[in-house]
């Protein structure tokens, strides 16, 4: 009974937070866009198997509005593949890579950050030096060499793992500084003197402060991962046989799409990427504004 | 101990650890590859359509094994790779055969460094000035517009924005021709030649520079300096200065802008790596003759010595630049550190 009540109050507090986020115009815009993007990504499952075949359609067809041939609504590529289905599948794969990286990297970062915040003495300095050096590491050159060596065995499950090697450091750094500042406050001393165990303090006193930041960081890591995969793909170092938004750009640049006037090949992935980044970032900004009242300051809301 | 010396030692330690982490990470991961990386690379080279006869194949294989330091005992391998990583000596390039890869990379380096330094400095200065200025604007609507523009621009990577720029300025309104720029002969004999070189540089550099400056100035530097400035305006010493009747312009430049510079220099030092990564892709997209374009060629044609050289060159370069910003420049902008006894 007690557990039911507790979980009910948790759910109601989460939904309350969600509704108060709904007051922000940015949050509304961002989530509406994200819903549309997710819906588009799900329609990729309807793609006919023939869409992967080369020269099944006529090549270099410009976009056309024809009710009977909906798959040609965005035209075709130089390989005679319909751009509509390529784009939808690419969108789904890119989102998949982004979410998986965020799941792995941000949680590793959360764990190491908490550990570094709690550690004392030489352990603390080792962890800090480690985190600081990973933060200032330029990711792309390192990732390029890795992807170059791994090019033959890359898969859509493997890329998130490679990206996570770099991505955990930034959340770890921030989680550590939040943990340290929370631990120095009076109520921690009070709760520790009143006999609450260490794990209790960690989960009920420290974690609530960290979790809000963790959510915004989760969203920002999705943005980072999709951007990084795109950067690798533009250099031809992603899974070139699969469709992601990055490999779409790679092939469009490779076939000189823009200079041959095939703008409908390059623009869909570019516009979709911008849309994904902007809508995700708007959600993350509104969450951090909601969590940190000082930021609401001059914005007039 | 003087706090600056402590800071200097601390940052130097972090820099050394950064380099060691980068080195060990690339060493370990290149060896953790499930199948032999070298055979995979040879497969990739064979796919490019060159016919390789067996003798040549074995010679190339030993060359690649030696290049990645895969010959000899594990300790030998480690030491060889260590030496190569820090001296940038990855042997001759495969494509331009007798020329050392280091020489090729160093030839492209000034272009990348030039673009990066100019674009980063301009965007840092413009972004911070604009952020502080906008935080003083009383009209809510105006500052709201700026804020929304910044929030839309910030998450977009440079290379995605540069594709939009290319579409607009080379396809819709053909102002810039985007034929690949070649490296000009730097030979300055007369004023005319100097002018030509300058014009050429401006023409080649402007679009990549614009895509970096617009995104980072109106994105992150604007957002962060505006937030910092709003915080600083409510500090006691600023309020006291206003009550004393000090000119508002003086408060803005000497009290607010000055105190924002300290955290912003640290932020610049920390983000140098990601700025560089973004600029690398942007260079390739614009066919700008820098390390990005060289890296693309090296990857596509399987020129591993050049690619490895570029990797260690950029890792070492970024580490040193970060160290410089976070110690020397930090010392200059933060007076608290200078006057402590």
Predicted ipTM of the assembly: 0.82
Q: pLDDT higher for A111 or B54?
A: A111
Test A270 with B22 for CB contact under 8 angstroms: no
pLDDT at B179: 60
pLDDT at B36: 60
What number of C-beta contacts closer than 8 Å exist between A and B? 168
Collect all residues of chain B within an 8 Å Cβ-Cβ radius of residue A165: 25, 29
pLDDT at A294 over 80: no
Test B314 with A282 for CB contact under 8 angstroms: no
Portion 214-273 of A in contact with B at CB < 8 A: 223, 227, 230-231, 234-237, 249, 253, 258-259, 261, 263, 266-267, 270, 273
Give tens-digit pLDDT for A14-59: 777 777 787 888 888 999 999 999 999 998 888 887 777 777 777 7
Collect all residues of chain A within an 8 Å Cβ-Cβ radius of residue B140: 300
**The Cα angle at residue A109 between residues A107 and A16, in degrees rounded to 5:** 55
Calpha distance A233→B288 (Å, rounded)? 19
Interface test with A, best of B160, B180, B298, B305 (most A CBs within 10 A): B160
- Residues A245-260: what's their mean pLDDT? 88
pLDDT at A300 over 50: no
DSSP output for chain A? -HHHHHHHHHHHHHHHHHHHHTTSHHHHHHHHHHHHHHHHHHHGGG--GGGGSTTSS-TTPPP---TT-GGGTT-B-TTS-BHHHHHHHHHHHHHHHHHHHHHHHHHHHHHHHHHHHH--THHHHHHHHHHHHHHTS-HHHHHHHHHHHHGGG--TTHHHHHHHHHHTHHHHHHHHHHHHHHHTSHHHHHHHHTT--HHHIIIIIIHHHHHHHHHHHHHHHHHHHHHHHHHHHHTT-S-TTS--HHHHHHHHHHTTTTTTT-HHHHHHHHHHHHHHHHHHHHHHHHHHHHH-HHHHGGGT-
- Residues A202-213: what's their mean pLDDT? 83
Test A137 with B140 for CB contact under 8 angstroms: no
The dihedral region occupied by B171, where left means phi > 0, alpha psi between -120 and 50, and beta the remainder, is: alpha
Portion 133-172 of A in contact with B at CB < 8 A: 133-142, 144-146, 148-153, 165
Q: pLDDT higher for A96 or A74?
A: A96
Q: What is the mean pLDDT of chain A?
A: 84
Test B296 with A165 for CB contact under 8 angstroms: no
Q: Can you list the residues of chain B whose pLDDT is less than 70?
A: 32-38, 40-41, 44-52, 67-70, 97, 176-189, 340-341
C-alpha torsion sign, points A220, A222, A228, A233? negative
The class of domain A50-276 in CATH terms is: mainly alpha
Helix (H) / strand (E) containing B84:
helix B74-87
Interface test with B, best of A24, A112, A122, A148 (most B CBs within 10 A): A148
pLDDT at A298 over 50: no
- Residues A268-297: what's their mean pLDDT? 84
Calpha distance B90→B93 (Å, rounded)? 8
A299 touches chain B (CB under 8 A): yes
Test A132 with B269 for CB contact under 8 angstroms: no
pLDDT at A136 over 80: no
Token representation of residue B112: 């990348």
Residues making up chain B, counted from first to last: 341
pLDDT at A293 over 70: no
Token representation of residue A9: 């109050």
pLDDT at A217 over 80: yes
pLDDT at B47: 67
């Amino acid at each position: 009974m007690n557990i039911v009540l507790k979980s009910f109050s948790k759910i109601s507090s989460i939904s309350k937070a969600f509704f108060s986020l709904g007051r922000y115009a940015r949050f509304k815009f961002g989530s509406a866009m994200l819903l549309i993007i997710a819906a588009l990504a799900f329609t990729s499952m309807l793609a006919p198997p023939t869409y992967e075949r080369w020269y099944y359609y006529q090549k270099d067809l410009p976009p056309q509005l024809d009710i009977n041939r909906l798959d040609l609504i965005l035209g075709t590529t130089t390989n005679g593949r319909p751009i509509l289905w390529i784009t939808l599948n690419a969108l789904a794969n890119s989102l998949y890579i982004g979410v998986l990286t965020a799941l792995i990297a941000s949680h590793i970062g959360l764990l190491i950050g908490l550990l570094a915040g709690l550690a004392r003495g030489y352990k603390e300095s080792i962890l800090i030096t480690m985190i600081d050096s990973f933060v200032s590491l330029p990711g792309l050159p390192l990732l390029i060499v890795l992807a170059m060596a791994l090019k033959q065995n890359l898969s859509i499950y493997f890329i998130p793992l490679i990206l996570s090697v770099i991505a955990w450091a930034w959340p770890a750094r921030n989680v550590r500084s939040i943990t340290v500042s929370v631990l120095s406050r009076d109520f921690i001393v009070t709760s520790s003197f009143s006999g609450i165990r260490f794990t209790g303090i960690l989960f009920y006193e420290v974690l609530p402060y960290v979790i809000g930041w963790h959510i915004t960081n989760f969203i920002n890591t999705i943005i980072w991962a999709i951007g990084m995969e795109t950067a690798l793909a533009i250099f031809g170092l992603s899974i070139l046989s699969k469709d992601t938004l990055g490999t779409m750009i790679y092939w469009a640049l490779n076939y000189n799409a823009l200079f041959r006037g095939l703008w409908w090949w390059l623009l869909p992935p570019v516009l979709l990427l911008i849309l994904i980044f902007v809508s995700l970032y708007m959600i993350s900004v509104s969450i951090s504004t909601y969590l940190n009242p000082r930021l609401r300051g001059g914005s007039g809301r | 101990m003087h706090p600056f010396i402590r800071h200097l030692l601390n940052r130097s330690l972090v820099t050394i650890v950064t380099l060691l982490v980068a080195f060990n990470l690339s060493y370990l991961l290149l060896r953790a590859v499930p199948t032999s990386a070298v055979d995979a690379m040879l497969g990739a080279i064979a796919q490019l359509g060159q016919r390789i006869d067996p003798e040549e194949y074995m010679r190339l294989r030993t060359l690649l094994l030696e290049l990645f330091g895969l010959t000899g005992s594990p300790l030998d391998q480690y030491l060889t790779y260590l030496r190569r990583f820090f001296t940038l000596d990855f042997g001759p390039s495969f494509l331009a055969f007798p020329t050392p890869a280091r020489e090729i990379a160093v030839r492209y380096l000034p272009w990348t460094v030039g673009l990066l330094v100019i674009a980063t400095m301009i965007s840092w200065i413009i972004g911070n000035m604009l952020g502080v200025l906008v935080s003083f604007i009383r009209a809510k609507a105006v500052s709201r517009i700026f804020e929304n523009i910044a929030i839309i621009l910030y998450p977009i990577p440079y290379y995605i924005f540069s594709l939009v720029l290319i579409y607009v300025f080379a396809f819709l309104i053909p102002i810039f021709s985007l034929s690949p720029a070649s490296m000009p002969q730097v030979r300055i004999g007369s004023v005319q030649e100097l002018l030509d070189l300058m014009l050429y540089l401006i023409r080649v550099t402007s679009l990549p520079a614009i895509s970096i400056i617009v995104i980072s100035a109106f994105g992150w530097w604007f957002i962060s300096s505006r937030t910092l400035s709003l915080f600083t305006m409510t500090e006691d010493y600023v309020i006291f200065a206003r009550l004393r009747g000090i000119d508002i312009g003086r408060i803005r430049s000497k009290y607010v802008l000055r105190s924002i510079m300290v955290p912003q220099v640290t932020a610049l030092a920390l983000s140098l790596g990601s700025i560089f990564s973004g600029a690398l892709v942007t260079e390739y997209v614009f066919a700008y003759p820098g390390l990005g374009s060289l890296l693309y060629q090296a990857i596509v044609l399987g020129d591993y010595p050049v690619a490895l050289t570029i990797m260690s060159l950029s890792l070492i370069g970024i580490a040193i630049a970060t160290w410089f910003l976070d110690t020397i420049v930090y010392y200059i902008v933060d007076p608290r550190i200078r006057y402590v006894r």
